Amino acid sequence: MRWTIKPKPDSQKLTTLQNALKVDEVVATLLLQRGIETYENAKTFFRPSLSELHDPLLMKDMEIAVSRIEEAIDKRDNILVFGDYDVDGTSSVALMSTYLKTRTDAVATYIPDRYDEGYGVSFKGIDFAHDNDFSLIIALDCGVKAIDKVAYAKTKGIDFIICDHHRPGEMLPNAVAILDPKRDDCKYPFKELCGCGVGFKLIQALASKQDKTVEDLAQYLDLVATAIGADIVPVTGENRVLAYFGLQVINSNPRPGIKAIINQVKKKELTLTDVVFIVAPRINAAGRMKHGNYAVTLLTETDYDLAEAYAAEIEDFNTDRREADRRITEEALQHIEQNKEQERCTTVVYQKDWHKGVIGIVASRLIETYYRPTLVFTKSGDKLAASARSVSGFDVYNAIEACSAHIEQFGGHKYAAGLTLKEENYQAFKKAFEDEVSKTINRNLLIQEVKVDSKIDLHQIGSKLIRIMHQFAPFGPGNMTPIFMTENLRDTGYGKCVGEDDKHLRITVTQSGKEKLVCIGFGLGDKLDLIKDRIPFKAVYSVDENHWQGRTSIQLKLRDIK
């Protein structure tokens, strides 16, 4: 790993903030690194409020969208809520349909089949709407590039309202309204909402017309927080507020579907990280292994016993997903080694029978071994489909766009994207993608980086620091768990490898002979020799708590040692 220590903040600002908040230098440093420079900034950060959310009517086309939906409700027109099959899409559909059903019973949902229809708005979905007399489609987490599909719907007499957060192309679809903060002509102050976040702004605007406040909509925030965590959007600004209050709902009064998932894993208090690794994969497994409709059914169910049965079914899908993910990752790693592709700047692999539902996860797994922009292809109908993942600091969407001559269609974000191409164009695309990345990437980005917030000594770690750091949550992009670095550490002599195949490292460290702290290093079993015989070393880590048999102790989670 490449260790990058963040620069120390300005000493005057540091002293001023320390005095204003009566905190030590470590806490003041962490706050300044997050752009928090004043008492008022800190108050907002530590005490999020729903009143901080922006007026939804600031979003381009919001008034038009509200007006069209109100018209449909008044006329009792049929409304189809359409969304993508991933967590953000299915959460968005559950949120929008649940809200609309409090206003009208003329509402249905539609999730495209990942394998039959592919990503986003589909002709099949529009035909379904036409055949079943829907005059309005609200598309969530997709649609901003669906120019031909929206035009087709127009010929069928169907209007579209699009709630998306992906980057638009040069042209926009001819929809009634396009709510997307990433539109160049949208002045909405916060640009990083997920699809479910944009959907929430729409129901916030609809509810405001009935004199309802955002507090009246708090019950929907469990879905929004789940989508924020799953879609890896920045946990800053409006997203942090939505995630903070969404976690409160998840931990106190979640909808039956989410409660059923939590009860399966018997976890008491969930963090946003828990949502990402426990709740989100299970919701995702429905669309990956079977159909996204299963996820929407689970998330909209009001009867707990039924929700429990649906959650059990989805747990089976998740078990299948894990097995497919493990097998395909092994096969992809063998492919890279057999073809001696370890020295490339990119990883691009293809096998026709790989499960389309897990290729995105496999791309992320391959990055854990070969840290570079990665695409995993499989056969999808008469074309090849790929999921792309990137390394920190490199925009894979731009790199794919530069190879668009070889591509049928693509979409996504800086760090995650998807594309389809004709099989005969695969090798040409693979070469073009390698050439583009080789030409544009800073080679340092191909070595995994750990960003260190602050260099500290062990004696500075105590219950007070942990108590304050708990209040920095929820953690995520833009507000990551603080990482510290400490030098001159020594193992007390009991360091050992633990876990399956001795993959992990468990040591007790001291710095001056006084403090002794237990450390766990997941995946660091091969570093045991670095700490043997009380050889001094330095480590980067996060500070955690270990709960065991009713006792709580401080534990360091090692990221790397040197």
- CATH class (in words) of the domain with range 339-446: alpha beta
Q: The sheet that has 416-421: what strands, in order across it? A: 347-350, 374-380, 383-389, 416-421, 409-412
Q: Give the C-alpha separation, 505 to 531, whole Å.
A: 10
Looking at residue 265, its amino acid is: V
> What integer pLDDT is reported at residue 385 of this predicted model?
94
DSSP label of 359: H
> What integer pLDDT is reported at residue 134 of this predicted model?
97
Confidence band for 512, pLDDT divided at 50, 70 and 90: confident
Confidence band for 148, pLDDT divided at 50, 70 and 90: very high
Question: Do 339-446 and 450-561 share a fold?
Answer: no
Confidence band for 118, pLDDT divided at 50, 70 and 90: confident
> What integer pLDDT is reported at residue 117 of this predicted model?
87
> What integer pLDDT is reported at residue 533 of this predicted model?
85
> What integer pLDDT is reported at residue 447 of this predicted model?
94
Pairing relationship of beta strands 496-498 and 504-510 according to DSSP bridges:
antiparallel
Residue matched to tokens 């609809």: 206
Q: What is the mean pLDDT of residues 404-408?
A: 95
Report residue 68 as tokens.
């069209």
> What integer pLDDT is reported at residue 194 of this predicted model?
96
Q: What is the mean pLDDT of residues 30-51?
A: 94
Residue matched to tokens 């990942």: 114
> What integer pLDDT is reported at residue 553 of this predicted model?
87
Q: Are 43 and 67 in contact (CB under 8 A)?
A: no
Specify the CATH number for 450-561; select among 2.40.50.460, 2.40.50.100, 2.40.10.10, 3.90.226.10. Answer: 2.40.50.460
What percent of the chain is predicted at pLDDT more than 90?
86
Q: Kindly list the distances between the CA atom of residue 316 and the CA atoms of 239, 260, 319, 345, in Å, as whole numbers in the listed order.
A: 31, 14, 5, 37
Q: What is the mean pLDDT of residues 182-206?
A: 97
The dihedral sign for the CA sequence 135, 141, 143, 149: negative
pLDDT in tens, 261-279: 999 988 888 999 999 999 9
For residue 427, how many other CB atoms are within 10 A of its CB? 12
Q: Kindly list the distances between the CA atom of residue 30 and the CA atoms of 344, 377, 479, 517, in Å, as whole numbers in the listed order.
A: 37, 41, 10, 22
Confidence band for 66, pLDDT divided at 50, 70 and 90: very high
> What integer pLDDT is reported at residue 222 of this predicted model?
97
**Could you tell me which of 234, 274, 231, 232 has the C-alpha nearest to residue 250?**
274
Counting every residue, how long is the chain?
562
Is it the case that residue 501 has pLDDT exceeding 90? no
Burial class (CB in 10 A: 0-12, 13-18, 19+), 238: buried
Is it the case that residue 91 has pLDDT exceeding 90? yes
The dihedral sign for the CA sequence 393, 396, 397, 400: positive
Q: Are 352 and 378 in contact (CB under 8 A)?
A: yes
Is it the case that residue 421 has pLDDT exceeding 80? yes
Domain ranges for the chain, please list them: 56-313, 339-446, 450-561
pLDDT in tens, 351-392: 999 999 899 999 999 999 999 999 999 998 899 999 999 999
Q: What is the mean pLDDT of the chain?
A: 94
Q: What is the mean pLDDT of residues 195-201?
A: 98
Map residue 511 onto helix, strand or coil: coil
Q: Give the C-alpha separation, 388 to 376, whole Å.
A: 7
pLDDT in tens, 297-313: 999 999 999 999 999 99
pLDDT in tens, 7-37: 999 999 999 999 999 999 999 999 999 999 9
> What integer pLDDT is reported at residue 375 of this predicted model?
97
Confidence band for 232, pLDDT divided at 50, 70 and 90: confident
CA atoms within 13 A on the CB side of 318: 19
Q: Kindly list the distances between the CA atom of residue 474 and the CA atoms of 10, 281, 528, in Å, as whole numbers in the listed order.
A: 26, 19, 33
> What integer pLDDT is reported at residue 548 of this predicted model?
78
> What integer pLDDT is reported at residue 267 of this predicted model?
82
Specify the CATH number for 56-313; select among 3.90.1640.30, 2.40.30.60, 3.40.50.720, 2.60.40.1080. Answer: 3.90.1640.30
518 forms beta bridges with 508, 555
Report residue 290 as tokens.
């079977």
Q: Are 441 and 373 in contact (CB under 8 A)?
A: yes
Confidence band for 448, pLDDT divided at 50, 70 and 90: very high
> What does the angle CA 117 – CA 123 – CA 126 come to, to the nearest 5 degrees?
115
> What integer pLDDT is reported at residue 340 of this predicted model?
82
Confidence band for 522, pLDDT divided at 50, 70 and 90: very high
